[in-house]
Amino acid sequence: MKASGTASLDLLSGIAWQAMRERGLWPEFSAAALNQAYSITGPAATTGHEILDLRELLWASIDNDDSRDLDQLTVAQPLNGGAVKILVAIADVDAVVQRGSPIDDHARNNTTSVYTVPQIFPMLPERLSTDLTSLAEGRERLAIVIDMTVNVDGTLCASEVYRAQVRNQAKLAYNGVGAWLEGRGSAPARLAAVHGLDQQLRIQDQVAQALRNVRREHGALTLETIEAVPVYDGDVLSDLRPDEKNRARVLIEDFMIAANGVTARYLASQGVPSLRRVLQTPKKWSRIVALAAQLGEALPREPSAPMLNTFLMKRRQADPVRFADLSLCVIKLLGRGEYMLELPGQPIEGHFGLAVNDYTHSTAPNRRFPDLLTQRLLKSALSGHAAEYSPDELRLLAAHCTAQEDNAAKVERQVSKSAAALLLAPRIGQCFDAIVTGAADKGTWVRISAPTTEGKVIKGYDGLDVGDRCRVKLVRTDVARGFIDFERLQ
């Protein structure tokens, strides 16, 4: 069994490497990049009077259970009148990774870490991302701090951006903190061990909920997606199960959205061109309207984020079990986000799903190149120097980052489907309940659970559209190509 499991993971790893190469992503670092990584003897040194010493604050990270590439820390400082100052510290990766260096060349090509079932292809060498540029527990690190003052009603009344030295007091995980915040479990051991941290997180949770309520009032969409994560029995892949959201994960998301907004507005205020993260008004709005009509709800003919969110909130309350399926359908119809050049003084479309006009990516520089790029622009603005990138460079990088992000998503999806095909191979002929997640000229796709995966309907797909439910039979799998084929049962 062990040998079989090892062989299966080796097979999936080979598929992942090939998929990376086919999509123009580099699966391994060059010798020059590795030599550069090994030549770096320690984290960036603290220099300059403008760097504040915030090491004694009660900083903590919340991330996946097994994450070591920690990008953010958060801390709350209650103020008079019920307002709270929220500080978000972002790892200063640029202090170690110089622009144009071999490591930067790799990051610029791939633009993101790629997370596949058998392995992770990190954007930066692990010596950096999980150590020297990671905000690891107990380590003193340089950071960019996004300082936000939030009123009781969730409105942002002041913000600053500055550099600081920080220290992570506790490495926490989404699942444990989420269960504790929701009253489903006791405080995780690390949380309980740090005096005052429990109250810290309660305050942060309250502020995050207030921020989220304001965004919802403006039309931010309430969506619950299902991300399939691999489950192993020893070294044998045994399942792909949904990784659901919880209060801790949403808390961090809310703070990162707010921090990204502050970053975008700060760069604009300094007259610095930047990359914005944009989700345009959906072109398939008519299908979203039709999907709502099937459920007895009416949406306007013209796209409206507030009206769409009202519909989503009602459906989550009416049918929580199927809400994730509805969310997936809406996400597919909304389309993908993209990076676009923002020039100060020139209007740019905002993010339809988040209901914000000013939004960038800046909070994960260990994992995404746009965030590292934005960090360099921030540091240029803070120091009063010329912008690190010209508008023409940013325009080209925006298109490149969008394309490579799409390629990375396709690699992750392909390898996940190969893993699912491996799990489903012994189940040819079995029947499943499914929901249609894609319907176009190139084919019709459905999603099943146990394992959580998508496959193509190769027979009986006439009349099916996104959001429809049907019964399907598994007729073929191809592990190497990640094909899972169904036929619709009449």
DSSP string covering 12-62? HHHHHHHHHHHTT--SS--HHHHHHHHH--SSPPP-STTSEE-TTS--BEE
pLDDT score of 326: 87
User: Is 86's pLDDT higher than 70?
Assistant: yes
Share of the chain above pLDDT 90, in %: 77
Mean pLDDT, residues 318-336 taken together: 86
Please name the residues in contact with 467: beta carbons below 8 A apart, sequence gap of 6 or more.
Answer: 291, 294, 326, 329, 435, 436
The H or E element that residue 416 is part of is: helix 391-424
Share of the chain above pLDDT 70, in %: 98
- The domain spans of the chain are 2-223+249-271+375-389
3-state secondary structure of 380: helix
Instruction: Enter the tokens of residue 158.
Output: 């002041």
CA distance 154 to 157: 9
E strands, 174-278, in order: 227-233, 236-243, 274-278
Mean pLDDT, residues 198-217 taken together: 95
Taking only the tens place, the pLDDT of each residue in 10-37 is 899 999 999 999 999 999 999 999 999 9
> Is 377:390 a contact under the CB 8 Å cutoff?
no
Going by C-alpha positions, the residue among 82, 76, 83, 78 that lies closest to residue 200 is 76
Taking only the tens place, the pLDDT of each residue in 235-283 is 778 877 777 779 999 999 999 999 999 999 999 999 999 999 999 989 8
- For residue 42, report the phi and psi dihedrals to the nearest 5 degrees: -170, 175
- For residue 443, report the phi and psi dihedrals to the nearest 5 degrees: 145, 170
> Is 331:225 a contact under the CB 8 Å cutoff?
yes
Taking only the tens place, the pLDDT of each residue in 393-420 is 999 999 999 999 999 999 999 999 999 9
Show the DSSP H helices in 46-152 as ranges: 102-110, 126-127
Residue 3: pLDDT band (50, 70, 90) is very low
pLDDT score of 5: 54
Instruction: Enter the tokens of residue 30.
Output: 């060059």
pLDDT score of 2: 38
pLDDT score of 50: 83
Taking only the tens place, the pLDDT of each residue in 420-455 is 999 999 999 999 999 898 888 889 999 998 888 899
Q: What is the 3-state secondary structure (H, E, C) of 427-463?
A: HCCCEEEEEEEEEECCEEEEEECCCCEEEEEEECCCC
Taking only the tens place, the pLDDT of each residue in 99-157 is 999 999 999 999 999 999 999 999 999 999 999 999 999 999 999 999 999 999 999 99
Burial of 293 (0-12, 13-18, 19+ CB in 10 A): exposed
